[in-house]
Amino acid sequence: MPPAQATQLLAGGRIRPPARALERAGQAARRARAAAQLRTAFISQADPAGPGGPVPPLARMLRGGRGGQVRLKLYLSFLWFQTDGSRPVSLAYPSQVWAELIGLEGDTGTRRVNEAQRWLEKHDFITIEARPGHANRVTVLEETGTGTPYTPPGYAANRLRDTTAGLSHLYVQLPRELWTSGCMSVITGAGLAFLLVLLDQYGPGKIPDPTPPVWFSPKVLRDYYALSEDTRAKGMNDLRELGLVTVRRVPVNPDDFDLERIRNTYTLNLNALGPARPSTDSASGPAPQADASPSAAR
């Protein structure tokens, strides 16, 4: 069957991120990592869970409507700034700056970021140090949501690579273009979740070129990711519109005499994260100043 081709709407400029989001991402890229590191334990769980079983941090963070989308985008952005190889980098940017980076504007955007930060602190993903008259200082905790002090997964995995403990620090990477293209400002929570699911399906390490297709059943989606089929459909549609995935319908066991069954396969296309054109003209603001370590400034 012919594939349902992805169209590179974002890279082609037909999806227009907010101008301020592109400006903020360009400023951030001078201070942030080339790629954010994210433990796979955030996305999925190692053992399948039935109804009422444990829920991975990704699914927990998404629940609760639009607030989940802001929480996820904000936390991933915090991880993008973790440039020190062996310890967490504290961040002291105004909430308005974070809001603009992820595509939110005005007082409403600032309020939603503040709400997201309070949720992340309550659920042990970050700590917040209030500083009257200055931006709050945010320090990330480990992606597991257990309150464990943060150690960059690349550093931890390398240090423990000859032990079974190293398996808990396996990670995937989110390229900086996820922000600098403007994608982070326009992608939905479901779309971002399934981008992470696809990265998890490809596994740690560099994605092969050419990129092979992957597939997963509704049972895998439910037992390992605790995500619904409805969320999958919304997320995949969003990724297709952004040009980030190609969906192909292929027959299962095409040589059998049984009734032919069809499954969807998904091929990730990170090359679609090309430069994007802003939606409106906007005057550039000053680059935010980080309260971070010298290595973060570099």
Q: What is the pLDDT of residues 122-156, one digit of tens each?
A: 999 999 999 998 999 999 999 999 999 999 998 87
pLDDT score of 282 more than 60? no
Tell me the average pLDDT across 233-240: 94
More confident residue, 262 or 116: 116
Considering the chain, what is the average pLDDT of its residues? 83
> Does residue 33 contact residue 83 with C-beta atoms inside 8 Å?
yes
> 3-class SS at 207?
coil
Q: What percent of the chain has a predicted confidence (pLDDT) above 70?
A: 80
pLDDT for position 258 = 57
pLDDT score of 20 more than 80? yes
C-alpha pair distances (Å), 120 with each of 75, 78, 169, 257: 8, 11, 21, 53
Confidence of residue 81 (pLDDT cuts 50, 70, 90): very high
Kindly give, in sequence order, each residue whose CB lies less than 8 Å from that of residue 179, ignoring residues fewer than 6 positions away.
25, 28, 29, 32, 77, 80, 101
pLDDT for position 166 = 60
pLDDT for position 5 = 42
Q: Supply 245's token pair.
A: 């995935």
Tell me the average pLDDT across 255-273: 78
Residue 262 phi/psi, 5-degree rounding, is -120, 140
Lowest model confidence (mean pLDDT) among 31-35, 114-118, 258-262, 270-274: 258-262
Residues 218, 211: Cα–Cα separation, whole Å: 23
pTM for the structure as a whole: 0.85
Confidence of residue 249 (pLDDT cuts 50, 70, 90): confident
pLDDT for position 244 = 95
Reported in sequence order, the residue ranges of the chain that DSSP labels E, i.e. its strands, are 35-39, 126-129, 137-140, 171-175, 245-252, 261-268
Tell me the average pLDDT across 100-114: 96
Confidence of residue 4 (pLDDT cuts 50, 70, 90): very low
pLDDT score of 100 more than 80? yes
Question: How many C-beta atoms surround the C-beta of residue 289 within 10 A?
Answer: 12
pLDDT for position 85 = 86
Residues 42, 36: Cα–Cα separation, whole Å: 13
Per-position b or e across 47-82, b if 16+ CB within 10 A of its CB = eeeeeeeebbbbbbbbeeeebbbbbbbbbbbbbbbb
pLDDT tens digits for range 41-62: 999 988 877 666 789 999 999 9
